[in-house]
Structure 1
């Protein structure tokens, strides 16, 4: 072997120049700051928050370990219980209505109607707004002395009432209205892209076989859009769990804390009430909710790719 390697007929291995080595390392050097920022500012602070949730931190971080006592306090807190119940109502209704409305709008636009571009832009426009703007606008619209109720009264229908925003039992549904108004257009765009990606020959074959249009959509097209459904559920669930700016602008958690959501609870206890440990515990509970949705989705996707 040594004779072969040291044979004079064997061409020498060229030494790599500094430019070649720099070109090999350049992508890693460029990506290193971004990777460092992600590791420190995302995963690092997740572990830091988990640690704080097991301490008695109040206005400033504390290193006194108290185990799961903050989680016990959290579960015994009436405001947290209310925020979880509100999240269940808001999340379920928001996800279902946004997806159903998005699918209906996508099917409507998939019929090659006139002015499709203009209509699609109108439906998508709310997504260009921030939730602060959406919350402020709907706060004006739903204000009994300024919005819909006053408008109907001015028309002469003085018996009409629409005071959900000041009704502690109905206020959570105003969050659903505003969130659906903003996000259903985005869901529509997702499903419309999925519909346009389906092979038209499948639809033509079904039409030749005598299948009606509703049958084609429900029996053929919709099953093909299963990945889009999963993506829509994941995105809307993420929006629902982390909703903070919409609640702050629209109801500020009121009346009282009847429209509180976990994100607003976490902010209030961490930054305004000096209970960092309790706020960190609520943040970890929110992270657990997101992972409970995300992990099964990723598992199903990976299993399908392997099969």
Structure 2
């Protein structure tokens, strides 16, 4: 099956400043793919090239079988874009905005989308300027979907939202993925990227520094997990197997080990606790997260 998005050796410079240096990645149909990077890493430029808004010097971009360089005019049918902000008039209502977008895309009015994103009722005729940040985000997403795009681009989709608003948009993103929509997401929210993404690419200084599923990224890193154990009898504070070394301790009475393989560590610790006629009262494992990986990669960015 042909990938939904293919980017090969993309290079882009502004004058003497090279922003992208041979960026390559692909996104499968119906996949959520997140692009992470600090400000200036090249996320926005990459997305603008994908959308046909920026010309680039070298490389190739193909979206749903369309060469972006050769046929940028065909992208409007396949792309839906939810930006952080839009150029909507402050006095324009949600209903008017939907009519405008539907006319521009040559499709029938999509009031069903306003209902789906809870933008009907009292919000239907409310001026854009009077909508909350969460309601504006819902409207932006509804407008981006009015022509049933096969590819959806989300730029910081939940920035500035409260917990309820974030959860609502997360459910919609998952629903769209289940409907087969390919989603390319740029976000600074590492937990969001880890929870929603099938695969993630981390941009650093204009190149893809890491790429893979969240599990692949954490498994391939040198960042250690933390294992917290508390026992009723305190046997781990009194003596530990020599092979484990001395653990850190916490004010709450936990013994803490850093390790790459938590299961291997527990195979050594648990028999020791049993031999001391002690029992585990609490156990938790903090695994390396996508945020840990991102900080380790982006921390040395120029």
Normalised-by-shorter TM-score class: under 0.3
From the two aligned structures, give the one with the greater strand fraction: 2
Flag the structure with more relative contact order, 1 or 2, with Cα contacts below 8 A and sequence separation at least 6: 1
Which one has a bigger Cα radius of gyration? 1
Greater share of helix: 1
